Structure 1
Amino acid sequence: MPCGCATTACTGSANWSRSAAPGCSESPSPGWCSSSPTLRSPPSRGRVLGQLRGGLAYALRTREVCLVVILLAALGTFGFNFNTVIPLLARYALDSDAAGFGLLFSCLGTGSVVAALLIASRERATERALCLGAVAFTLLLALVALSPWFLLTAALLTLLGAASTVFSATASTRMQLATPVELRGRVMSIFTLLTMGSTPIGSPVIGALAERQGIHLALIEVALLCALGVIAGLIYARRSASDATVRAADVAT
């Protein structure tokens, strides 16, 4: 699965760079990872807003893509805020210094890289892997919120990095495979928006909650928000699969 390798380059290298220089780390732009020649769409004509509406309409009416959008809307907005969460955990929950902060990011990156390499060897990105990745990510995020010890938090962050990569790589692959070439760029822009463009919404929310209630309670509340999104996605997947089965039976008869 090529997207597993792309996720390795984006997530793993980004987190490892923060562990090497925790005081001056910056978020690199992973946009180049989407520039594989095999994924480039031919230039389309028409108004920009009309093209965007067409991509959004396709995403919402296509079961495989809509499920990813639902899950990403929750996890991307509230779950993938590691740049905000980990410094707060290191400083206020674990009373750690810069070296500890770097180690936490390194654990997150290690889990991401290992999971991405394993995913790259798989031939299919299944819906089961997508949902399991989302559920595992949410549960691990809640466990990180409850962890009072540094070593336990580091171990949980390693697993959290793995779960985040399983989910994001599977989501990206399924969206691309379910989308026609002429719409792929527009649909994948939704993926980019929900994974990177939504963090400016979630990060201030986490910061405000942490300032008032502490990072542990804030992270528990964020995990609950992610859980609501995952539950909504699972309900949608179940109902849409049942509807598809009924339609197929009607056509057969």
Structure 2
Amino acid sequence: MQLPLMFSSLGVRNYRLWAGGQVVSLTGTWMQRIAQDWLVLQLSGGSGVAVGIVMALQFGPTAILSLPAGALADRFDKRKLLIGTQVAMALCALILGVIDVSGAANLPLVYALSFALGCISAVDAPVRQSFTIEMVGVEQLPNAVALNSLTFNLARIVGPALAGLLITLIDTGPVFLINAGSSIAVIIALLAMRSSELMRSARSVRDRSIRSGIRYVRRHRHLVVVLATVFMVATFGLNFPLSLALLTANTFEGSAGGYGLLSTMLAVGTLGGALIAARRTRPARVRQFLVGAFLFGILEVVVGFMPTFWLVAAMLIPVGMANIMFSTAAMNIMQLSVESDMRGRVMGIYMICFLGGTPIGSPLLGWLAEVTDPRAPLIIGGVISAISAAFCAILLLRSTHQRPGLDHGKLVLTATGE
């Protein structure tokens, strides 16, 4: 039976296994994120700086390790690398769960485990992103990227809702243990894949160093524009674990269930955006990406000014849709416009831009929330996101008109919509 167009990549057995394992594993991951933020708020007495620090520790290693991890992805078997990272992440969740259940949890221990998880995730992310095309091939990649977002956001709906309920009923410790168990699903999926059906990238004899990956990106203006915009939006705009936790606890005096509900409403929007993206058959354009980033920033500012909890919850749906609009466009552009033997390193640079700014943005926005208002991370982050998208669009248009013959010629013209 032929699958509907929006689910076409599920016709590939290896990808079908991967997607199924990811639904279970990512649900556990989102449960842990909610539980970890709430545990830090409990241990710190509601400190926004403490939440910012734990986010910085968890995402900071990306700035150092993503490029070496991308080089590993270009050299070695990605499936085996992913099995190793999944086992290591499960162990981190297990240790945190045992410590919390035993009553021994404190901020230094949570910080240390967050840093360890951040190091592992920094290796996992570029390998994971560059593995998708090996499962489905070039033609199915846009659909697979959209379905990856769909899977991620389905888990993002279910995970926070379950976490909010379970934290209320049985506290945070068991949630970490559930996440440790959920990692088994994706490990089984990876082990069950048929290696002969993976479309591995050809091993190039040219320079495979990290420096060559940086030079490759610098030569292509559309990649530089996408990466610069992603860095600014991700560093200052994508601050929802911090901003929603503080807004729930300190502005609306809510519970973990309220935080989980806001996270779920955001995920409903991103899920809807992913469903729309899965219907697209044409490659994304840079213009589409920049419009999505600008719209996201404007809508985030609107959320920051909403006066009630339920109005915030409602506005998070269009914010989530704009978020997925620009993030799936970015992923498509980065993967489809890059040569196969450079993909791991380029995705390593992408993950640095996507997560590496968190150690800067999260503590800063957490501090601003404490000295001004819990709404500040949303308002300031949205303004910076919108301005960054507009500025990068102007720069790209000016450089394209001045030097139209560079950077892959037709690729850049197609990417900018000209």
TM-score bracket for this pair, using the shorter chain length:
0.7 to 0.9
Choose the corresponding residue for 1:133, options 279, 288, 292: 292
Give the structure 1 partner of residue 224 of structure 2: 66
Q: Superposition pairs for residues 24-173 of structure 1, below 5 Å?
A: 24=172, 40-43=200-203, 51-124=209-282, 125-173=284-332
Letter in 1 for 2:232: A
Letter in 1 for 2:221: R
Q: 1:17 to 1:181 in 2, by over 3 A?
A: same
Deviation at 1:40, TM superposition (A): 4.7
Unmatched runs of 5 consecutive residues or more in structure 1: 249-253
Task: Please provide the CA RMSD for this pair.
Answer: 2.7
Unmatched runs of 5 consecutive residues or more in structure 2: 1-141, 410-418
CA contact (8 A) 1:77 1:201 kept: yes
- Name the CA distance, whole Å, in 2 between partners of 1:182 and 1:244: 27
- Name the CA distance, whole Å, in 2 between partners of 1:39 and 1:198: 33
- Name the CA distance, whole Å, in 2 between partners of 1:11 and 1:46: 38
Choose the corresponding residue for 1:204, options 363, 370, 376: 363
- Name the CA distance, whole Å, in 2 between partners of 1:15 and 1:246: 45
SS in 1 for 2:338: coil
Deviation at 1:44, TM superposition (A): 5.2
Give the structure 2 partner of residue 8 of structure 1: 150
Cα deviations by residue, 1:40-85 (Å, 9 ceiling, x for unpaired): 53445688xx722111222122122111101111011111222111
Q: 1:217 to 1:129 in 2, by over 3 A?
A: same
- Name the CA distance, whole Å, in 2 between partners of 1:45 and 1:87: 49
Q: 1:85 to 1:164 in 2, by over 3 A?
A: same
Q: 1:110 to 1:171 in 2, by over 3 A?
A: same
Higher deviation after alignment, 92-101 or 233-242? 92-101
Please state if 1:187 is matched with 2:329. Answer: no
Q: 1:117 to 1:39 in 2, by over 3 A?
A: farther
Give the structure 2 partner of residue 214 of structure 1: 373
Please state if 1:228 is matched with 2:394. Answer: no
Q: 1:135 to 1:45 in 2, by over 3 A?
A: same
TM-score calculated relative to the size of structure 1: 0.85
Deviation at 1:38, TM superposition (A): 6.6
Letter in 2 for 1:5: L
- Name the CA distance, whole Å, in 2 between partners of 1:201 and 1:45: 38
CA contact (8 A) 1:141 1:219 kept: yes
Q: 1:39 to 1:106 in 2, by over 3 A?
A: farther
Letter in 1 for 2:275: L
Give the structure 1 partner of residue 159 of structure 2: 17
TM-score calculated relative to the size of structure 2: 0.53
- Name the CA distance, whole Å, in 1 between partners of 2:241 and 2:199: 29
Letter in 1 for 2:276: L
- Name the CA distance, whole Å, in 2 between partners of 1:204 and 1:45: 43
CA contact (8 A) 2:292 2:326 kept: yes
- Name the CA distance, whole Å, in 1 between partners of 2:324 and 2:153: 8
SS in 1 for 2:380: helix
